[in-house]
Homo-oligomer: A and B are copies of this chain.
């Protein structure tokens, strides 16, 4: 299987346990790094530049956009957030799988720019479980829960756009399923482009009649 890392996009319903699955992958296997986002928002106490985020000013962010240096970006509440292409590509070349935890619009941006990315959608086994998990947190108002469920209903329409559906029933199984589909992606033709090219050239060369 291929040596280069896989760009793994992880999306899913609020309350599906995306963060838990991502942490599980990072803890259980050595092959993963989290993408570090670039942002124009000010660092909060304890946040470290280059670890929590790459903190930059607005001019630097917009220059990076213009230079094609971001895989995807968005503006929330007047601050830019984006995924630096350089950092991701360096990690992939080093053989690390890079995890991006982003929403569907960002995921589709990534698919256009980086077609070899693997898109995973995390879902609980049922809508009832999702609701129970959101309610179980005990920190959300009924109104917020309703809003999240409505948003999940909209997101559910897009599930087929993902490469794989990871059912988060038990975290352990979900982490192991996610890792299995990421490992399998190393056998895709895209991840074996160099091998295919080499075999194809050698076979063509051997097929040429001697002296021809």
Within 8 A of B (CB), among A148-192: 149-150, 152-153, 156-157, 159-160, 162-167, 177, 180-181, 183-185, 187-189, 192
A188, B207: Cα distance in complex, Å? 38
Contact A165 B149 (CB under 8 A): no
CB < 8 Å: which of B165, B180, B203, B207 contacts A180? B180
Nearest chain-B residue to A202 (Cβ)? B127
Contact A149 B192 (CB under 8 A): no
Known: A180-B180, A181-B187. A203 touches B127 (CB 8 A): yes
Copies of chain A in the complex: 2
A33, B172: Cα distance in complex, Å? 30
- Asked if A198 CB lies within 8 Å of chain B CBs, one says yes
CB < 8 Å: which of B153, B183, B204 contacts A153? B204
Within 8 A of B (CB), among A46-87: none
Known: A126-B198, A177-B1, A183-B180. A203 touches B164 (CB 8 A): no
- Asked if A41 CB lies within 8 Å of chain B CBs, one says no
- Asked if A35 CB lies within 8 Å of chain B CBs, one says no
A183, B180: Cα distance in complex, Å? 8
Chain B residues contacting A184 (CB-CB under 8 Å) are 164, 180-181, 183-185
Chain B residues contacting A207 (CB-CB under 8 Å) are 149-150, 153
- Asked if A199 CB lies within 8 Å of chain B CBs, one says yes
A residues adjacent to B (C-beta < 8 A): 1, 123, 125-128, 130-131, 149-150, 152-153, 156-157, 159-160, 162-167, 177, 180-181, 183-185, 187-189, 192, 195-196, 198-200, 202-204, 206-207
